[in-house]
Every structure is written in structure tokens, then in C-alpha cells.
Structure 1
């Protein structure tokens, strides 16, 4: 064997020895699959524990992370190591804050873990939102079963939020005038009973009569005690605007808010006499008294033999008519020779005869009456005494 060949063999042995050691070191590895938050990757690691294998790959875990198998487990070739990092989740449920550590990857999984997956619940973020390792905070309002009564009808609804949300869920329209018990902004609670009173305000126009006033004006040309209407009073008309309040369709109140004059009333003007009447002189009174006395005595001469025959009555003393205005405007004096007729002209004079004794008296028509069937004249006290002293009814003939 040549030296050259020997040297080659010696070199080959040396290389084999050295290479064999290197190959042993390389072959002393396990193939492990690392699944970190669902992402898988294979790697060659030295034999040992799961903790050591993770450290070789630079994977750190904390107390809230989930590692399978456990950190102290021995690994083997073909091992699968699963790491799910923990996330801090802060959820405010109906105003109450809950903090949890979870390996859930999205909000929907968190809701499942909290038994709050009801689709009627209102969540402030998307249920499909992925949760990063930094964690997440969100709020949620749970659905409540409540009873709503409005307009006399009651129904059960499931709603989230406030009383206003429950009314909307019940498809009940309402406005700022309506009254809710509890109030619209009250948070819902299971079993809550809600009552809505429907309040309506309506405007109404009303026409009303306005009474006229009376204005009295003194008149020196008119005898004292006498009155005369110069302008007849006329009622006016106002238009009033009222606000009427109804609760659940029933009227509960009304209030007048404005008044507009449609037609103003016309005041009645009454003249009041102030003229003093001068009493007649003594001689005149004596003459008048003598004349009246003779007239009141009546006369049996020249009686009325043709004309209208009827029953005449009397009025004046003791019946409250004395001193009051007559139809002609003058004050009634029972001692005067006057009479009332329904048809004879005011101011006309007639002769009246008592058909039983023939006594006759001349009278002036200054009033209207009588208004009793079968009677044609109402004689003053003096006129009746002239033909039938002390009587109240007498058959007469007049022309």
C-alpha cells in the first residue's frame, strides 16, 4: 500500500469520526408543531420539557395563558404544543362592570362564556370583533320582558334600554305631551309594568253673545220720573279660542286663551227726565177739583144709545199700577178720567155709558188693555166710580 493511499484512508477515518459526532448532535432533535393562537409552525427542538421547547422558540407565556400539554410535560417527536394567550376583557352589563381573562378570540365567544349570547341583547361593539392580546372593553344591555299598557290595551314585549325603547318595541307612537309611568328615560327591568297616558290638546273656536250696557242721560225737557229709550241696546258677539285637554280620549280640562271681538255690542241709551212740574194754583186746583167732582159724578143725560157693547173692568187704586208709565208715556193717575183699550188710538176720547143705570162719562184713551177675554175697556178708578161706584166689572156701551 502506498503512502498516498494510506494517508487518504487515514484522513477519511478522521473525517468520519469528526462528522459522525456532528451528525449525532444534529440527529438528537425532536420535530414539534407549535400552535400559537391558532397559527401553526413546525420546528426541531432539543429533547426536554414543553417549557424548554417554548423557550428555544422564544415563546413566552404568562399566568393567564393556556398551554397544552402543561409546561413541565416531556416532549416527544411529533409533539403538538398549543398556546392560547389570555386576553383581559372588561364588560359593563346593564351598568355593572365585569372583568375576565379569557382565551376567546372574538366578542361572540366571550358572550357565550358569560351566558349572554341572547340575540336581543344590545352590544356596543360587533359580536364578530377579534380580540387582540391587548384585550377589549365594551358594554352590553340585556333584553328585558316588560308589560306595556297604552290606550286601554296591554301587551308584553321584550326590549333593551329604557321605557322609551320598550314603547317603540311595542310599536306605540308617543310625543312630548304624553305621560309615561315610569318616565321615558327609566332603564328597563324584568317584569316592569309601563303605563302610557295619551295626552291630546285641541284648539276650539266658540261664538258667545256679549250683553249690552245701559247708559242713562239726564233730559231737562222730560218730566222728572219719566224715561225714554233713544237708542235700543243690541248684543254683541265675541269669538273665543279655547284649549281643551284630553287624556286617553276623555276631556279633562279646558282653558280660554284668547278673545276676538266679532261684533261690538250697542249700548242702550235711556233719557231720564229732570224737569220739575209746577203744581197748579189753589184756584186752579179748586176749579179742577170742582170739575173733576162733577165729572166723576157722571151724568144720566145724553147716554150712548148706539155703538159697541161689552164688559169694562177697572184698574188703579190698590193694584200697584198708579205712578207707572202708561203706553202713551205719561204717568198713570187713577184719579184721572182715562181708560185703556187694545184697539182705540192713544189720545182719542170716547163716551162710556153704564147700560144698567144710564150714567155716562167721557174718558181719554192713554193705555193698552185689558188682556182678559170678553173685556173691551179698562177704566181708571175715577172713571168707573163715575158710572158704577164701587164696582169692578160693568156692562157698558161706548162710542
Structure 2
């Protein structure tokens, strides 16, 4: 009876279910244990040169940095040896960026860098651009950053140039202040300190800034006035008062750099001698006789017709209408036509000597003996045509001559590439990566900061879409080439990892 109860089918099924559940639980525990074992990683975390070994279960670099409480800013550079996914024994490097000022061909440009020395920063630009624009680093802005002062040259001595003297500082692994102190060089409040490369030589240069005033005497040209003297013959001129130039004294505030004037501002201006106008008398034009007027009307008619054919359609219409009226009324009003012609001719000479278009209008009107109003309308028509033409001309000139200008920054193509060369090199993008970046942005924008795709709205050197994406690196992204380049390099790093990968995608798909 006990044996029968012990091996019933129900008992067998129950025991089988228990065995299955036990297997599932054991497998789950094994999988969880295996995952926990593999997910646990030991990672070397380097932040600004200080390395620590950390243990983490994070799957990505971003998550690891969040766990460690490391705040990464927009311009900071983060790299990892294991790619997108964090792996055991990976090395994660964080380099905090700080802003300095570089000088590209005389233009000051804000530049975010992770360089640990001024010499290294200059080296970034040389790595990607053998024909780089002249680059210098403004020490005033990099001094006292991060580690208490930027090292000038980690690899060797520094040449110091100040007050017209040249000397050598043997220990380049010092900040600018320490090197200048060792040479007994005291800086003024506005003195400028910069670092530049000359071949293999690193130069620390001090420029003295002083201010002064300069007084200058400037001539004031006299004006010329013309009066009509009826006692003089036609075309005769006579100087009634000789003109004399005046004088004014201008005082300028001048800024000198190493004794050479760099900029100036007008401080005051005083007139010390008034200019005397020159007065010239001119004889009046004599009125023409009726016979001369008649013959001139005939010749004017021909010229008026030819002029109107070269001018506007309205002028042609008015001129033709005038000639038709004249032929119709020749037989009945020759006397009136001659009288009107004479009066119009004298009015034209006295009032409109300088305006050839008005005279033509009056002459074409003289051909019409119908009324003076007809001639005036013809003249007005030509005047209106002229004014419209002038207005259109000036408007077109204004729109076509508009060119982009401004501070960086509105860089030239060469300046933009010089800036990008240094920014890319500090990310490790040199050689093939740099060549790929040049080709990529040549295709996208031609390296023009104002390039805009009329159909999509993509904007700037990297052709950001929408353009407002670049605002993370600066609110003035539409007018600052440096902001556009900084964002473009960050975008390539985040999405593709390198310019070479971005260029390959662009080749295959047509965009990046």
C-alpha cells in the first residue's frame, strides 16, 4: 500500500516539476553570476593627468563619469581605449578645456584648449598645417589656469625678448611669471605677453604698452561760390574774392606698443582759423533770337526723337504724339507756334542750362504748337524716367556690394583652417584624419562661416541642421566661425569617432 502511494503518477509528475524548476533556478543563478562577474570592470580613469583605478558596473563612459561625479563641459575632451562600450581594463581620459586667446595673422581669436604648455598648444597648429598662418598665444589669458600657470616649454629652454633685449631661460618648465621674475622683468598693467614659435625656438615676448597724445594741425579747404554778374559778357569769369584755407587743431589719444603707434582716438578738435570762401562772378547767357530758336527747335526735334528712342517707351509715345499734333496744326497756327517756341527757348536757357534732359524735353515740347502744357508734360516724363533710373541703380549697388565682415569671428578660409588644424590636433586628428576633415568641410561649405543651404537650412562651416544645435557652444553661432568649428569637431567625435569615418559616410551616403 505504501509503495503504491509512493509511486503514483501524480507523485511522479510533481517530482519532475520540482527537478525542472531546480534546473531553471540553477541556470538563472549561473547567468546572473556570470553577468555580474563580466559586468564588473576595473577601469583606469585619468582626469587632467591624475590617474586612479576605479571599479564599476557602468556600460558606457558617460555613465562612469556620472558615477564618479565628474562634470564634463562642452569643450572638454573625453577619450576611451575601448570605444563606445566600456570594457574591463579600459583607460578613460578626461582633459578639461580652458579658454585662451590666439592670434591668427593679427586677428585675436578665443580658443579652447587642453594643452599643458604654450609650446604644446603651438605645436597643435603645426601638426596639421605645415603652411600655418602666423600663430601666437596670448599668455595674459592662459596664465593662472588649471594648475596655477601654463608651462611655456616642457622640452627645453625659452628665448625671452623684452625691452629690446634677448636672453635665454634654461628651464622652460615654468609659467611665464616665474621666467619673467627670474629675468627681473616687471610687467605693467597693460603690457602684453605672448608665446610664439620660430622653427625649433620657443619665444616668450613682452610688448610694452604706453599711451600718449599727439597734436596735429589740419587744413580746412575753402569753398567756392559762383554769382551771376549782368555787367560781364557771356562766359566771362572774374575772381571777386580770393579763397583761403582755414586751420583746425586736432588732439589724438594714441596707444603705443613698443614705441610704435598702434591705434588712436580723436580726443578734441578746435578751429583756429576760419576758411574764406572764394567768390567767382560769371557773365549770364544771352537770350537766343527767334530765328535761332526756330532753327534750334528743328535740330532739337531730331535729337529729341533719337534720344527718346534710346530712353523709355513713354518718351517715344510723348514725342510721337507731339510731332503728330504739330503736323496737324501747322497750317492754322504757325504764328502761335513761333511765339510759344520763342518763349520756351528763353525759359529753357535761363532756368535749365545744366539739365540736358529737361532741355530735350522742352525742345520736344516745342515741336508741338498745341500748348505749353504738352511740352511741360514731356519734360516731366523724361525727368521721372531719369529719377527712377537713378533710384534703381543705387538700390542695386547697395545689395550687390554687401559682404560679410566682423570679428571672429568672420574668418577667411585660410584662417578657419588654421584654427581647425589646432583644434583637431589636440583631439589626435592628424595626417589622414586631418585630410579627411579638410575634404569633408570643403564639400559641405567650402569652409565659409556664412554658408547656408537654401533648401535644407543647414548652416555654417560644418553645415549644422538645424543651425541652432551649435548654440551649445555659443549663442553667436551664426556669426562666429570658432563656435561653428568647435561644435563641428565635437559632433564628428560623438557620432563617428573620427573625421575619416565621417568622410567615409559622406562618400557612401552623400552627407554626414
Report the TM-score range of the alignment, normalised by the length of the smaller protein.
under 0.3
TM (normalized to structure 2)? Answer: 0.22
Structure showing greater radius of gyration is 1
More helix by share: 2
TM-score, normalised with respect to structure 1: 0.28
